[in-house]
Amino acid sequence: MKNLLLSLLIMSSFAVHAQVSKATHLKETEKANAQPISKTDSSVYICKGSSAYAYHKSRACEGLTYCTRDIEAVAKKEAEVNHKRKPCKACH
């Protein structure tokens, strides 16, 4: 009898665990969906290196080939105003 109780206890704790990981998974999915779909439309890419001066339409632009720092996607306005970037000659 004791053994039966013990296995029931173990089984129920497994069930709780499964429910928790399911909930976590759902939360992550919601997070991914929460990102604005139109972000890529108005986004430009900037190199975070100190000698970078331009923003780019595409991450694959040749102007970003030699970027040694991180490439960040930002809104076009943000690139112009906050980062003082000019449109890249190669892709604009």
Q: In the complex, which residues of this chain contact Zn ion (CB under 5 A)?
A: 56, 61, 63, 88, 90-91
Let me know if 64 is exposed, middle or buried by CB neighbors in 10 A (0-12, 13-18, 19+): buried
- Would you say 17 or 48 has its CB closer to Zn ion? 48
- Would you say 52 or 61 has its CB closer to Zn ion? 61
Least separation, in Å, of the C-beta of 38 and Zn ion?
21
Least separation, in Å, of the C-beta of 21 and Zn ion?
43
Residue number of the CB closest to Zn ion reads 88
- Would you say 58 or 82 has its CB closer to Zn ion? 58
Would you tell me how many other CB atoms lie within 10 Å of the CB of residue 57?
16
Q: Which residue has the tokens 């900037």?
A: 46
Cβ atoms of 71 and 47 within 8 Å: the answer is yes
